[in-house]
Structure 1
Amino acid sequence: MSERQSADTSAAETRLTDYLRSVELEWELGGRDGEYVVTLPGEKKLRTVVSLVIRPRTTSISAFVIRNPDENHTEFYRALLRKNLRLTGIAYAIDTDGDVYVRGEVPTDALDAEHLDQLFGVVLAASDEAFNELLALGFLGSMKKEWAWRVSRGESTRNLEPFRHLLEDDAGQPS
């Protein structure tokens, strides 16, 4: 890496860490050179862990969204592809295990507070806002079994409440 590239990368890292401190996001250095691991708080998905790897020309960003669905693969992946049409700077992708991530690359010199705010917002929306829909598409059978088991044992169903309308029949019984 040239001296100029090193200075550009260092400046981008400083802008990133200044931004993260100013918005009070949790972060730590990752295991790779230039990697920052940031935790975004969510509502539907409790947190989204984001990896940014700052390199001289581009910075990659990736975040785990949800594991490989148990069922309904065609509709699940079709929904992701439709959602890709509305994303800016990132896209849904799957790894070799079928787990879903959002992934993107941005010019390193564009890492300023405004762009970072937009980028983290898009990542959070893609992960958090879509989470319940993706759960219902890819894991409904498992959620129904879990709901029935919890109801039969008198266990809490609090984390499944957003799906009650899908998990109970019209008489309020597990479907």
Structure 2
Amino acid sequence: MTAGRLRAALDELEVPYTAEGDGAFLVTLPGERRHRTLVWLLVGTHELLVESFVCRQPDENAEGVYRYLLQRNASLRGVGYALDSSGDIHLVGRLGLDGVTTAEIDTLLGTVLDTSDADFNPILERGFASAIRREWAWRTRTGQPVKNLEAFRHLVQP
């Protein structure tokens, strides 16, 4: 029973999750650049599907964003970047059911978290620079804090 092994692995790893039906688990991982990363683990007939939404479709420079993601795919283990039909960006992976072990789930979740968190700002810089500049200008003009935009200061100041 793979769903039972997966539940036991998640419990052993002490990661927060909710079971959403038989064989569907939504894991919540804390991040640094991103507040949190949500990861679906879906037990199928022959494989475990791992999927995590990373970012919506870029507003601009989609080619640059997608080039960055394809280059990153070459260094990832167990997951890779993919686009849905709307162009939104996800990390997706598949694991044979025999590979559902605590160590492998730990590795997969770690890869998703590290990748999503490390690549979040570079994706935003490439695909949402104009929106970041507009938001920065509006916040400074209206006296709003820019603390959560500090990582993008280089985009608004020469």
Q: What TM-score range do you get, normalising by the shorter chain?
A: over 0.9
Q: CA deviation at 1:30?
A: 2.3
| Secondary structure, counterpart of 1:78 in structure 2 | helix
Residue 46 (structure 2) aligned to one of 57, 67, 77? 57
Q: Which residue of 1 aligns with 2:6?
A: 16
Between the aligned partners of 2:45 and 2:142, the Cα distance in structure 1 is 56
Q: Which residue of 1 aligns with 2:119?
A: 130
What's the RMSD between the two structures over aligned residues?
1.2
TM-score (norm. length: structure 1): 0.86
Point out the structure with max Rg over C-alpha: 1
| Secondary structure, counterpart of 1:130 in structure 2 | helix
Q: Which residue of 1 aligns with 2:16?
A: 26
Q: Percent identity?
A: 40
Kindly indicate whether the alpha-carbon contact (under 8 Å) linking 1:57 and 1:109 is maintained by their aligned counterparts in 2: no
Unaligned stretches of 5+ in structure 2? none
Kindly indicate whether the alpha-carbon contact (under 8 Å) linking 2:13 and 2:102 is maintained by their aligned counterparts in 1: no
| Secondary structure, counterpart of 2:59 in structure 1 | coil
Q: Which residue of 1 aligns with 2:148?
A: 159
Residue 80 (structure 2) aligned to one of 91, 101, 118? 91
Matches within 5 A, 1:44-123: 44-123=33-112
TM-score (norm. length: structure 2): 0.95
2:4 alignment partner AA: T
1:96-149: per-residue Cα shift (whole Å, max 9, x none)? 111000111101121111111111111112211100000100000000000000
